[in-house]
C-alpha cells in the first residue's frame, strides 16, 4: 500500500501536466466562445470528481452506520473534505467562465445550482463534524450524509421544474462535443481523479495518525491522573 | 405503553407546559410580529410587485420564526435528563420524536396564523389563484420545516454554538422544500401558474423525510 | 483571455490552499508526537 503512493504521485503529476498542455494548447479553439471555453476542461472534470467523492461518502456513511468500523468513518470524512474542495473549484470556475461568455456571473441553471446546494450540504456536514462535542460524532455525521443523499433527487426535480417555468441561459457545452475535445476532457478527468485519490489517501493517513495521537494523549493524561494520586 | 399512548401523553404534557410558562410563547409571538414589520419596511412594493415576491417573503419570515421555536425543542428534555431515560428504557423513542414534531408544528402554525393577516394587510395581498390551495401548501410546508428541524435540533444537542448549528444544518437540506413553498405560494398569489407540481413536491419531501426521521431517530438518540 | 488564466489559477490556488492546510495539520501532529515521546 505504501509503495503505491509515490507511483500514484508520479502518475498524477504526469497526467495533470499532460492534461494542462492538451487543454491550453493542443485542444482546438471553440468556434463561438474562443479560448475561454478551455475553462470547461477543468470545470467539468472537477464536477464529476466532486460528485463521485460525495457518492463514496454516502456509501461509506451507510457502511459506517451498519458496521460501525472506524475505516468507513474516516473514508467518509476524507471524501467529504476533498469533495468540498473540488466542488469549490466548480463553483469558482463556473462564474469565471460564465461572465465573458454569457455576460452574467451566475445563473440558477440546473447543474450549477445543484452543485451549490451539494456544496452547502457538505459544508454543513463538515461543520457538524467540527463543532460536535459528542463522542459519537461519526454516527451523527453519517446520518446527516444520508439526509443529504435523500435530498439530492428532490433538489434536482425542484430546480428542474423551476427552470422549465423560468428558463435561463444554460452554462454548458451547448450540444454535441467535438471528439478531440472529448479526448482532452477525459484526460483531465483521469488526472483529477488521480489527484483526488492522492489527496484522499494523504488525508486518510493523516487522520489515522491523528486519531492514534489523540488516543495516546488521552491515555497519557489518564495515567498522569492516576500517578498524581 | 403503546406508541399512541406515549405520543399523546408527551404531546399533551408539552402543550400544557408551554401554555403555563407563557414567557417563551410571548417572546416568539413578538419576534414573529417584528419580522413581519421589518420585512415591510425593507420591502415596500406596489400591489402588483408584492404578489410576486410575497411568497418568498412570507416563507422566509416563517422560516426564521420556526428556527426560534425549534431551538428550544429539546431544552426541557435536556434539563431533566429525559433523553438519558429514553436511552436506557426499552420504550421506543419514535413517539417522543413525533410528539415533539407535532408540538412544534402546532406552535409554528399558530405563529404563522398570526403573521399571515399582518402580511396580507401590509402588502395588500389578494390571491388571484385558487386560494384554498394555500392550506395544503401551508400544512405541507410547515411540516417539512418542522420535521427536519426537530430532528436536526436533536442532532445538534451536543455541539458548540447549538443555536447556530440548527439553521446551519436545516437550511441546505430544506432548499427543495423552500423552493416548493415559495413557488407554490407565488403561483397562487399571482394566479399565473399552477401550484400542483410544487404541492406534489412538498408531499414527496414530507413523506421521504418523515420516514427518514422516524427510521433514524433512535440511532441518533443512542449516539448522543 | 484573462478569464481563462484566472480560472486555471483559481483552481490551483484552491487545491493548493487545501494542501497547505494538510501540511499544517501534519506539522501539528509531528509536534504532538514529539511531546508524547518525552
Read off the pLDDT of residues A124-141 as tens digits, 9 standing for 90 and up: 999 999 998 888 899 999
Which phi and psi (to 5°) does residue B178 adopt? -65, -45
The answer to whether A195 faces chain C, any CB pair under 8 Å, is yes
**Cα–Cα distance between B217 and A134 in angstroms, integer?**
16
Give me the pLDDT at residue B201, please. Answer: 96
Lowest-confidence range among A27-41, A94-108, B124-138?
A27-41
Secondary structure class of B159 (helix, strand, coil): strand
Work out the minimum CA distance from C20 to partner chain A, whole angstroms: 12
Please state the rounded mean pLDDT for residues B164-180: 95
Q: What is the pLDDT of residues B179-195, one digit of tens each?
A: 999 999 999 988 888 88
A203 and C29 within 8 Å at the Cβ level: the answer is no
In the block, residue with C-alpha cell 427536519 = B148
Residue C35 clears pLDDT 90, i.e. is over it: no
A206 vs B90, more confident? A206
Task: Return the C-alpha cell found at B121.
Answer: 394587510
Determine the pLDDT at residue A172: 60
Burial call A130-147: b when 16+ CB within 10 Å, e when fewer: ebbebebbbbbbbbbbbb
- CA proximity to A19, closest of A179, A188, A182: A188
Q: Which chains touch A (3 or more CB pairs under 8 A)?
A: B, C
Check CB contact under 8 Å for A158 and B176.
yes
pLDDT of A1 > 80? The answer is no
Q: Determine whether the interchain pair C10/A217 forms a contact, defined as Cβ–Cβ distance below 8 Å.
A: no
Report the mean per-residue pLDDT for chain B.
87
Question: Does residue A144 or residue C33 have the better pLDDT?
Answer: A144
- A74 falls in which pLDDT band (50, 70, 90)? very high
A139 with B156: Cβ contact below 8 A:
no
* CB distance A150 to A112 below 8 Å: no
Report the chain B residue with the minimal C-alpha distance to residue A165.
B193
Contact B212 A147 (CB under 8 A): yes
Residue A152 has pLDDT above 80, yes or no: yes
Average pLDDT over residues B155-161: 85
Residue of B nearest to A145 (CA): B173
In a 3-state reduction of DSSP, which class is residue A30? strand
Q: Which residue has the higher pLDDT, C2 or B170?
A: B170
Q: Are A105 and A156 in contact (CB under 8 A)?
A: no
Cβ pair A45, A185 in contact under 8 A: yes
Q: Which residue of C has its CA nearest to A216?
A: C36
Among candidate residues A125, A139, A128, the one with its CA nearest the CA of residue A64: A139
At residue A212, the pLDDT reads 92
pLDDT at A30 over 80: no
Asked if residue B8 has pLDDT above 70, the reply is yes
Please compute the mean of the pLDDT values over residues A67-75 and round it to a whole number: 95
The predicted pLDDT at position B69 comes to 86
Residue B87: predicted pLDDT:
78
Q: How many CA atoms lie within 13 A of B23 on its CB side?
A: 2
DSSP state of A29: P
| pLDDT, position B224 | 66
CB < 8 Å from C in window 120-179 of A = none
Chain C: residue whose CA lies nearest to A88: C14
Which chains have 3+ CB pairs within 8 A of C? A
CA separation for the pair C27, C38 (Å, rounded) = 17
Nearest neighbour of B179 by CB, restricted to A121, A150, A162: A162
Q: Where are the domains of chain A?
A: 4-169+180-205
Is B169 at the interface with chain A, CB within 8 A? yes
Q: Is residue B160 within 8 angstroms of chain A, CB to CB?
A: yes
Most confident of A30-34, A50-54, A159-163, B27-31: A50-54
Distance from CA of B85 to the nearest CA of A (A): 18
HEC profile for A127-190? HHHHHECCCCHHHHHHHHHHHHHHHHHHHHHHHHHHHHHCCCCCCCCCCCCCHHHHHHHHHHHH
- A53 or A224, which is more confident? A53
Mean pLDDT of B96-104: 91
Q: What's the rounded mean pLDDT across residues A39-54? A: 94
Between A91-105, A142-156, B31-45, the lowest mean confidence (pLDDT) is in B31-45
Residue that is written with C-alpha cell 494542501 in the block = C19
CA distances from B40 to B92, B191, C9 (A): 45, 22, 44
CB-nearest partner of A134 from B158, B176, B193: B158
Name the minimum distance, in Å, from the CA of C6 to any CA of chain A.
8
Of C7, C22, C29, the CB nearest to A93: C7
> Using a CB-CB distance cutoff of 8 angstroms, which residues of chain C are in contact with residue A96?
3, 6-7, 10
Give chain B as a DSSP string: --HHHHHHHHHHHHHHHHHHSHHHHHHHHHHHHHHHHHHHHH----HHHHHHHHHHHHHHHHHHHHHHHHHTTTHHHHHTTHHHHHHHSSS-SHHHHHHHHHHHHHHHHHHHHHHHHHHHHHHT---SS-GGGHHHHHHHHHHHHHHHHHHHHHHTTTBTTHHHHHHHHHHHHHHHHHHHHHHHHHHHHH-SS--HHHHHHHHHHHHHHHHHHHHHHHHHHHH-
pLDDT of B23 > 70? The answer is no
pLDDT band with cut points at 50, 70 and 90 for residue A228: low
Q: Say what the pLDDT of residue B162 is.
A: 83
Q: What pLDDT is attached to residue B119?
A: 86
Q: In this structure, what C-alpha cell is assigned to residue B125?
A: 395581498
> In the prediction, which pLDDT does C29 show?
93
pLDDT band at A37 (very low <50, low <70, confident <90, very high): confident
CA distance A163 to B200: 17
Give me the pLDDT at residue A174, please: 53
At residue B8, the 3 state secondary structure works out as helix
Do residues B154 and B220 lie in contact, with contact meaning Cβ atoms separated by under 8 Å?
yes
Mean pLDDT, chain A, rounded, equals 89
Evaluate if residue B219 carries a pLDDT over 80.
yes
Half-sphere exposure of B49 (CA within 13 A, CB side): 4
Neighbours of A164 (CB within 10 A): 10
Q: Is the pLDDT of residue A66 over 70?
A: yes
Chains C and A touch (3+ CB pairs under 8 A): yes
pLDDT digits (tens, 9 = 90+) for A168-227: 766 665 556 677 888 888 999 999 999 999 999 999 999 999 999 988 888 888 888 776
B47-88: per-residue pLDDT in tens? 677 778 888 989 998 998 899 889 888 887 777 777 777 777
Question: Which of B151, B164, B175, B214 to probe by mutation at the A interface, max A CB count within 10 Å?
Answer: B175
Amino acid at each position: 500500500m505504501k509503495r503505491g503512493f509515490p507511483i500514484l504521485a508520479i502518475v498524477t503529476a504526469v497526467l495533470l501536466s499532460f492534461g494542462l498542455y492538451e487543454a491550453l494548447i493542443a485542444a482546438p479553439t471553440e468556434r463561438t466562445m474562443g479560448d475561454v471555453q478551455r475553462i470547461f476542461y477543468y470545470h467539468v472534470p472537477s464536477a464529476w470528481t466532486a460528485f463521485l467523492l460525495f457518492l463514496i461518502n454516502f456509501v461509506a456513511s451507510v457502511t459506517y452506520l451498519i458496521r460501525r468500523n472506524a475505516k468507513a468513518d474516516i473514508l467518509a470524512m476524507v471524501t467529504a473534505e476533498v469533495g468540498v474542495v473540488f466542488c469549490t473549484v466548480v463553483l469558482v470556475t463556473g462564474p469565471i467562465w460564465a461572465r465573458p461568455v454569457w455576460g452574467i456571473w451566475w445563473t440558477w441553471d440546473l447543474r450549477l445550482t445543484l452543485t451549490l446546494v451539494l456544496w452547502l450540504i457538505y459544508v454543513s456536514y463538515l461543520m457538524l463534524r467540527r463543532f460536535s462535542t459528542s463522542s459519537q460524532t461519526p454516527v451523527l455525521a453519517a446520518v446527516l450524509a444520508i439526509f443529504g443523499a435523500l435530498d439530492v433527487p428532490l433538489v434536482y426535480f425542484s430546480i428542474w421544474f423551476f427552470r422549465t417555468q423560468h428558463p435561463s441561459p444554460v452554462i454548458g457545452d451547448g450540444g454535441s462535443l467535438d471528439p478531440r475535445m472529448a479526448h482532452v476532457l477525459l484526460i483531465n478527468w483521469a488526472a483529477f481523479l488521480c489527484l483526488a485519490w492522492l489527496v484522499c489517501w494523504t488525508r486518510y493517513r493523516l487522520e489515522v495518525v491523528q486519531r492514534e495521537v489523540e488516543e495516546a494523549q488521552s491515555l497519557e493524561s489518564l495515567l498522569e491522573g492516576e500517578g498524581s494520586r | 405503553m403503546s406508541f399512541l399512548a406515549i405520543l399523546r401523553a408527551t404531546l399533551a404534557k408539552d402543550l400544557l407546559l408551554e401554555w403555563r410558562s407563557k414567557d417563551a410563547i410571548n417572546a416568539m409571538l413578538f419576534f414573529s410580529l417584528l419580522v413581519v414589520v421589518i420585512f415591510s419596511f425593507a420591502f415596500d412594493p406596489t400591489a402588483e410587485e408584492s404578489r410576486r415576491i410575497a411568497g418568498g417573503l412570507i416563507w422566509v419570515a416563517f422560516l426564521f420564526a420556526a428556527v426560534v421555536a425549534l431551538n428550544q425543542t429539546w431544552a426541557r428534555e435536556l434539563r431533566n435528563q429525559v433523553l438519558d431515560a429514553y436511552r436506557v428504557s426499552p420504550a421506543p423513542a419514535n413517539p417522543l420524536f413525533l410528539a415533539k414534531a407535532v408540538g412544534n408544528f402546532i406552535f409554528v402554525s399558530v405563529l404563522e396564523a398570526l403573521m399571515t393577516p399582518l402580511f396580507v394587510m401590509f402588502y395588500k395581498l389578494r390571491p388571484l389563484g385558487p386560494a384554498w390551495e394555500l392550506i395544503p401548501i401551508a400544512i405541507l410546508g410547515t411540516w417539512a420545516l418542522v420535521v427536519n428541524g426537530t430532528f436536526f435540533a436533536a442532532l445538534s444537542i451536543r455541539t458548540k454554538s447549538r443555536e447556530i448549528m440548527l439553521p446551519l444544518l436545516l437550511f441546505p437540506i430544506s432548499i427543495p422544500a423552500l423552493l416548493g413553498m415559495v413557488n407554490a405560494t407565488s403561483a397562487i398569489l399571482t394566479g399565473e401558474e399552477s401550484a400542483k407540481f410544487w404541492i406534489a413536491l412538498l408531499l414527496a419531501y414530507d413523506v421521504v423525510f418523515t420516514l427518514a426521521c422516524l427510521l433514524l431517530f433512535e440511532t441518533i438518540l443512542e449516539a448522543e | 483571455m484573462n478569464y481563462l488564466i484566472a480560472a486555471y489559477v483559481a483552481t490551483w490556488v484552491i487545491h493548493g490552499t487545501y494542501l497547505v492546510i494538510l501540511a499544517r495539520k501534519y506539522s501539528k501532529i509531528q509536534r504532538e508526537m514529539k511531546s508524547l515521546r518525552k
